[in-house]
Amino acid sequence: MSLLRSAATVSGFTLLSRILGFVRDVLLAGLLGAGPVAEAFVVAFRLPNLFRRFFGEGAFNSAFVPLFAKRLEGEGQSAARAFAEEALAGLLFILLLFTALAEAAAPLFVWVMAPGFYEDAEKFDLTVTLTRLTFPYLLCMSLVALLGGVLNSLHRFAAAAAAPVLLNVVLIGVLILARLFNWGDSPQSGIALAAGVSIAGFLQLFFLWIAAARAGLVLRIRRPRWTADMKRLVMLGLPGIVAGGITQFNLVISTIIASWQEGAPAWLYYADRVYQLPLGIVGVAIGIVLLPDISRRLRAEDHTGVLSAQNRAMEFAMLLTVPAALALMAMPHAVINVLFEHGQFTPEDTVATARALAAFAAGLPAYVMIKIFSPGFFAREDTRTPMIFAAISVAVNIAGALALFPFFGHVGIALATAAAAWVNAFLLAVTLQRREGWQTDARLRRNLWRILLSAFLMGLALLGLETWLREMFAPEFAFGLRLAVLVGMILLGIVLYFGLAWLLGVINRAVLRQALRRSG
């Protein structure tokens, strides 16, 4: 299956998950708004997600996937299974110890993560309770990441991409029940949501375990052992863990700063959820597919194929990400108004969240480029360089957040995050090019400026529309009318952008057929 076809498979399930995620967050905003229960849940949910970057998706998989893929390609499925079982045993042992520690030290974690909550004893205690309920999610999702890496290396992308749908289905169910029982903006709603997070984690783990078994890789639980393979995995994974730790430390700093502004953690959460849609559909999907693909091509010494895969990934990503970024920057108020301004979510919350969304969106292309460039290092078993660049970008982020927060509040945090992403992407690109691991081809150079021009013109049109139609999003207008106006603006933007891209020759029938064809 071609790279773009595989990415489309991942993107399709990611799109479904994000749509359900929007439904979840719309219900969440209507039920809890940006009040204390919402803030407590956001921080409690963020803690296990923070640590899962260490043990799962980012750090662990950056080392595990290349080693597993090479074992699979060079020694066969039996040797690859044995390696995966050893990795599973070690990871499970560490996760059980860490989860037990986290449950005991939850008050300390919350105090570090959100010191601004400490002055409100009721909100602080609720956050501690919710954190203890959500932390088993870390254990489940780290194991899900391992199983997903196994399946992706076998070119079975659907199951791992579909698993996150379960989280949103469970939380939507919890939110519907909370409305039926009239719990409203109460601690009961927060407790039910936190418990739902962990239940969804176990469901995802069971789903991926069955998918791996159906793929012929039934992984047994072994006794953890310190073998040469595990030493190699740890040595490669440690820089990734440090890099993940640095990146997440940045998130901790942002949350700490935001906790001193009432409502800011919730505003940043809702804004983050919106811009994560294009990032997840395009950037994460490309990164998931690209790492095992580059690892396989390097194993076969197909360096031309590596460069071609990277260029097509960049072209595909920019074609979809640049217009998404400019659209979110042009009409953030309309998007947030329609998605979230219901129930407890006020017009003031809409304004604050929209400003954060516009700031986050400025960094969206950079976030996607990081997903494209990082596999070029990981596939070559270099996790140290991305670690160093992550540290530099985090220093930029922290300095920027501290400098901008006194003047721009929570928007300064979002701006600093976007600036740091551009620094990271630039350093990765320049270094990979110097090492001859990345080189733009004529097709990418030809199309990139055309993509930028098409997106810029579309963004100007949407900005004008948003300004002209701003009064249509006032609270006195019915939700159906506001939704219709937003959908009309989005459709106009899509038609305008892809029409310009077609006229400028960025896309045509031949390109579409090539992207979707099967490769041998």
Q: For residue 49, how far is the Cα from the chain centroid?
A: 11
Q: What percent of the chain has pLDDT over 90?
A: 24
The pTM for the full model equals 0.68
Give the residue with greater pLDDT, 57 vs 445.
445
Q: Residue 154 and residue 168: Cα distance in Å, rounded?
A: 26
Q: Which residues contact 226 (CB under 8 A, 6 or more apart)?
A: none
Mean pLDDT of the chain: 81
∠21-23-28 over CA atoms, to 5°?
90
Q: What is the pLDDT of residue 413?
A: 92
Is pLDDT at 520 greater than 60 in this prediction? no
Task: Confirm if 344 and 33 have CB atoms less than 8 A apart.
Answer: yes
Q: Residue 371 and residue 414: Cα distance in Å, rounded?
A: 19
Which of 52-66, 78-92, 201-215, 376-390 tops mean pLDDT?
201-215
Q: Tokens 């990765």 appear where?
A: 428
Closest alpha carbon to 394 in 240, 251, 242: 251
Is pLDDT at 455 greater than 50 in this prediction? yes
Instruction: Tell me the pLDDT tens digit for each residue of 223-278.
Output: 777 777 677 776 766 665 665 555 556 666 777 788 788 878 888 888 887 887 77
Is pLDDT at 210 greater than 60 in this prediction? yes
Question: First and final CA of the chain: distance in angstroms?
Answer: 7
Give the residue with greater pLDDT, 114 vs 59.
114
Give the residue with greater pLDDT, 310 vs 126.
126
Q: What is the pLDDT of residue 245?
A: 52
Cβ of 216: how many Cβ atoms within 10 Å?
Answer: 9
Q: What percent of the chain has pLDDT over 70?
A: 80
Q: What is the pLDDT of residue 332?
A: 93
